């Protein structure tokens, strides 16, 4: 393996064992692990700091919806013991502070190039190396290329006629100004009611003069019930943090082992008992609600009972019955990415908040003064796009990645992403995608999914070094079987039954393929088995 050629400058060619794209949770840990192996590594990061998702998503109310004690690295006992999280769910500034602390604690910055956007990566077959080109003309050569580019890192701004003519500022929740935005005294329009919209709407509503929410699809949301962490529970977890992490990894979404799903089908209990079980978990708050029964995500009738329970809560909170009905979603619950809220539905009881139903009055254009729907024009001082991301494949495909024989990833994935284990693509040797499509990724606690992938990749590279292999590449057969497996697992659930970014349905023209793989424990076991069988499904040379 190559020696680190040092910091790059201008157009000089730099040789590394590994180039890592992205300095978020994935890229930082990948760098840490490569250093452990004694390899030379360079991280290329578009932003000016570490943090990935948590660097960019600084919108008001941004917060993780996984419990703080779970949403953190587990690889260092001292780190997990010393860090104190104040609340049940961490805010964006707290997570960013934590990730900066990790970068400092392990001196990661010296191997990260910030403000560096990768434009292309080409596999040089004769050298057996990746040539990575950045937008500012820097070229790096590496044996391995790891994409830690995140699943939700390409903000989606829908094309709406007249957007450029708007005279006020336009913001996107996924690339929020670092200096913040003062909405005091403003008439604000927000488009989108996914997780980002649901988190930011109650906060913006308190500041703005008037807030107009442009809703295309109503969304279910479960109250977060955030608050200070329970110090006794923290002490208990910290007394056996490793055990806590191990138990979480046995859960389908790699989290919440302290609140596991009831192993009871929803229709096996009577209406009163069912509502009691929903109510109990509604009171706990957060994702445990979806564990009230074991078939909410696999049986439509069971799902309908959960959906109706949440609709009844929306009707009981929102005082104007017409607005309440507009906010009641008709679709399968938790089929789009589940949302956790703090005071979202209550916000519609404020006199300065107005809900605009885009299903009955669609947006026709953005004008110089605001947003025009089919029935009126809303005068606005500023517009917020909370319209999500080109998820899971967006950032990978923005980079011109070319594998063996000039095969481009864009062409290869024209009909949707295909790979083996969500980690590796035939035709693209020594390229790994952390939490790629076809792996549990966004259906799990992301930190757990990231650590599992980074550790698997590290073990694989170590094995290659110990057995004199220079190249690893998934076989076509392994890819075909894996894609079939992912589709078969998805088909046992209700996930594919509604339009969601999991399916690519939020991006016009994007192929509709259910991208993540439900079920972390089976997946992790499969990865272990592949490694134990000397990387079955891969060609090693
Ligand atoms: O994006 P989304 P997000 N005209 O895609 C609407 C994670 N996350 O940024 O449903 C009008 O969910 C769109 O409408 P529809 C989490 O995984 C986590 O909110 O497509 N509306 C929808 O309402 C999450 O799922 C956290 O009909 C348009 C909204 O915009 C993911 O990031 C916090 C439109 C987009 O919702 C993405 O969440 C935040 C158009 N042309 C995010 N195009 C936490 O951990 C889109 N919409 C808490």
Residue range 481-529, pLDDT digits in tens = 999 999 999 999 999 999 999 999 999 999 999 999 999 999 999 999 9
Q: What is the pLDDT of residues 56-102, one digit of tens each?
A: 999 999 999 999 999 999 999 999 999 999 999 999 999 999 999 99
Could you tell me if the CB of 216 is within 6 A of ligand 1? yes
Could you tell me if the CB of 315 is within 6 A of ligand 1? no
Give pLDDT, residue 516.
98
How far does residue 253's CA lie from ligand 1's centre (Å)? 20
Give pLDDT, residue 376.
98
Could you tell me if the CB of 220 is within 6 A of ligand 1? no
Task: Decide if 503 contacts 514 (C-beta within 8 A).
Answer: yes
Which residue among 339, 388, 504 is best mutated to probe the pocket of ligand 1, counting the most ligand atoms within 8 A of its Cβ? 388
Give pLDDT, residue 9.
40
The residue whose CA is least distant from atom 3 of ligand 1 is: 388
Which residue among 91, 196, 330 is best mutated to probe the pocket of ligand 1, counting the most ligand atoms within 8 A of its Cβ? 196
How far does residue 195's CA lie from ligand 1's centre (Å)? 6
Instruction: Return the closest-CA partner of residue 28 out of 56, 6, 53, 50.
Output: 50
Give pLDDT, residue 11.
41
The residue whose CA is least distant from atom 37 of ligand 1 is: 388
As given in the structure block, the two tokens for residue 101 are 């602390």
Q: What is the CA radius of gyration of the chain?
A: 24
Q: Which atom of ligand 1 is nearest to the CA of 388?
A: 1
- Show the CA angle centred on residue 59, arms to residues 502 and 92, nearest 5°: 85
Q: What is the pLDDT of residues 430-465, one digit of tens each?
A: 999 999 999 999 999 999 999 999 999 999 999 999
Judged by average pLDDT, the poorest of 2-6, 107-111, 297-301, 390-394 is 2-6
As given in the structure block, the two tokens for residue 387 are 């319209």
The residue whose CA is least distant from atom 16 of ligand 1 is: 195
Cα distance between residue 296 and residue 275, in whole Å: 14
Query: pLDDT grade, residue 13 (50/70/90)?
Result: low
**How many other CB atoms are there within 10 angstroms of residue 247's CB atom?**
14
Give pLDDT, residue 3.
37
Could you tell me if the CB of 506 is within 6 A of ligand 1? yes
How far does residue 502's CA lie from ligand 1's centre (Å)? 11
Cα distance between residue 33 and residue 456, in whole Å: 11
Task: Decide if 410 contacts 221 (C-beta within 8 A).
Answer: no
The residue whose CA is least distant from atom 4 of ligand 1 is: 216
Is the predicted pLDDT of residue 342 greater than 80, yes or no? Answer: yes
How far does residue 420's CA lie from ligand 1's centre (Å)? 28
Those residues with Cβ within 8 angstroms of residue 172's Cβ, 6 or more apart along the chain or in another chain: 155, 157, 384, 385, 386, 387
Q: Which atom of ligand 1 is nearest to the CA of 152?
A: 32
How does the average pLDDT of the chain come out, rounded?
Answer: 96
Is the predicted pLDDT of residue 370 greater than 80, yes or no? Answer: yes
Phi, psi (rounded to 5 degrees) for 187: -95, 115
Bridge partners of residue 145, in order along the sequence: 19, 431
Query: pLDDT grade, residue 5 (50/70/90)?
Result: very low
Q: How far apart are the first and last CA of the chain?
A: 15
How far does residue 526's CA lie from ligand 1's centre (Å)? 31
Could you tell me if the CB of 190 is within 6 A of ligand 1? no
Could you tell me if the CB of 191 is within 6 A of ligand 1? yes
Cite the beta strand spans of 125-206 per DSSP E.
129-134, 139-147, 170-172, 187-191
The residue whose CA is least distant from atom 34 of ligand 1 is: 387
Angle formed by the axes of helices 25-36 and 446-466, to 10°? 30
Those residues with Cβ within 8 angstroms of residue 482's Cβ, 6 or more apart along the chain or in another chain: 419, 420, 421, 438, 537
Could you tell me if the CB of 196 is within 6 A of ligand 1? yes
Q: What is the pLDDT of residues 205-256, one digit of tens each?
A: 999 999 999 999 999 999 999 999 999 999 999 999 999 999 999 999 999 9
Could you tell me if the CB of 430 is within 6 A of ligand 1? no
Could you tell me if the CB of 95 is within 6 A of ligand 1? no
Could you tell me if the CB of 163 is within 6 A of ligand 1? no
As given in the structure block, the two tokens for residue 185 are 């005294």
For residue 120, what are the CA distances in angstroms to 134, 213, 307, 406? Answer: 7, 39, 45, 12
Could you tell me if the CB of 505 is within 6 A of ligand 1? no
Q: What is the pLDDT of residues 175-192, one digit of tens each?
A: 999 999 999 999 999 999
Alpha helices (runs of H) in 318-360, residue ranges in sequence order? 321-327
Mean pLDDT along residues 409-425: 98
Those residues with Cβ within 8 angstroms of residue 241's Cβ, 6 or more apart along the chain or in another chain: 74, 77, 80, 81
The residue whose CA is least distant from atom 43 of ligand 1 is: 387
Q: What is the pLDDT of residues 160-177, one digit of tens each?
A: 999 999 999 999 999 999
């Amino acid at each position: 393996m190559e020696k680190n050629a040092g910091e790059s400058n201008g157009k000089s060619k730099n040789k590394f064992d590994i180039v890592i794209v992205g300095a978020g949770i994935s890229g930082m840990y990948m760098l840490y692990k490569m250093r452990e192996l004694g390899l030379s590594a360079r991280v290329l990061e578009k932003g000016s700091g570490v943090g990935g998702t948590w660097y960019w998503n600084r919108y008001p109310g941004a917060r993780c919806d996984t419990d703080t004690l779970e949403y953190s690295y587990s690889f260092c006992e001292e780190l997990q013991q010393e860090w104190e999280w104040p609340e049940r769910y961490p805010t964006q500034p707290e997570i960013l502070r934590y990730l900066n602390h990790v970068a400092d604690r392990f001196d990661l910055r010296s191997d990260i190039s910030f403000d560096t956007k990768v434009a292309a990566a080409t596999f040089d077959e004769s050298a057996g190396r990746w040539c990575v080109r950045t937008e500012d003309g820097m070229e790096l050569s590496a044996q391995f290329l790891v994409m830690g580019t995140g699943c939700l890192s390409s903000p989606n701004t829908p094309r709406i006629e007249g957007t450029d003519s708007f005279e006020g500022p336009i913001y996107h929740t996924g690339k929020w100004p670092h200096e913040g935005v003062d909405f005091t005294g403003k008439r604000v329009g927000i488009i989108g009611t996914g997780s980002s919209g649901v988190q930011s709407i109650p906060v913006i509503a308190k500041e703005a003069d008037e807030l107009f929410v442009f809703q295309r699809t109503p969304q279910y949301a479960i109250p977060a019930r955030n608050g200070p962490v329970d110090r006794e529970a923290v002490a208990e977890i910290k007394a056996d943090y490793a055990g806590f992490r191990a138990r979480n990894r046995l859960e389908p979404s790699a989290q919440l082992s302290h609140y596991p799903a009831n192993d009871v089908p929803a229709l096996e209990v009577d209406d009163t008992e069912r509502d009691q079980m929903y109510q109990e978990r509604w009171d706990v708050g957060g994702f445990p609600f979806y564990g009230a029964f074991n078939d909410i995500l696999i049986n439509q009738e069971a799902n309908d009972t959960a959906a109706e329970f949440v609709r009844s809560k929306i009707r009981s909170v929102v005082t104007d019955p017409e607005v309440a009905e507009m906010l009641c979603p008709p679709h399968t619950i938790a089929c789009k990415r589940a949302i956790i809220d703090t005071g979202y539905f209550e916000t519609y009881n404020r006199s300065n908040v107005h809900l605009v139903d885009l299903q009955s009055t669609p947006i026709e254009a953005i004008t110089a003064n605001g947003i025009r729907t089919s029935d009126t024009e809303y005068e606005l001082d500023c517009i917020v796009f909370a319209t999500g991301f080109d998820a899971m494949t967006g950032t990978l495909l923005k980079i011109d990645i070319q594998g063996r024989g000039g095969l481009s990833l864009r062409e290869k994935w024209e009909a949707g992403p295909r790979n083996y284990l969500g980690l590796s693509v035939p035709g693209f040797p020594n390229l790994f995608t952390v939490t790629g499509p076809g792996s549990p990724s966004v259906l799990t606690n992301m930190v757990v999914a990231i650590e599992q992938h980074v550790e698997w990749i590290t073990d694989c590279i170590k094995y290659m070094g110990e057995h004199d292999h220079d190249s690893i590449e998934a076989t076509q057969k392994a890819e075909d079987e894996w894609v079939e497996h992912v589709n078969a697992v998805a088909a046992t659930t209700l996930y594919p039954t509604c339009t969601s970014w999991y399916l690519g349905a939020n991006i016009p023209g994007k192929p509709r393929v259910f991208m993540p793989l439900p079920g972390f424990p089976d997946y992790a076991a499969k990865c272990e088995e592949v490694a134990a069988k000397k990387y079955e499904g891969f060609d090693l040379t």
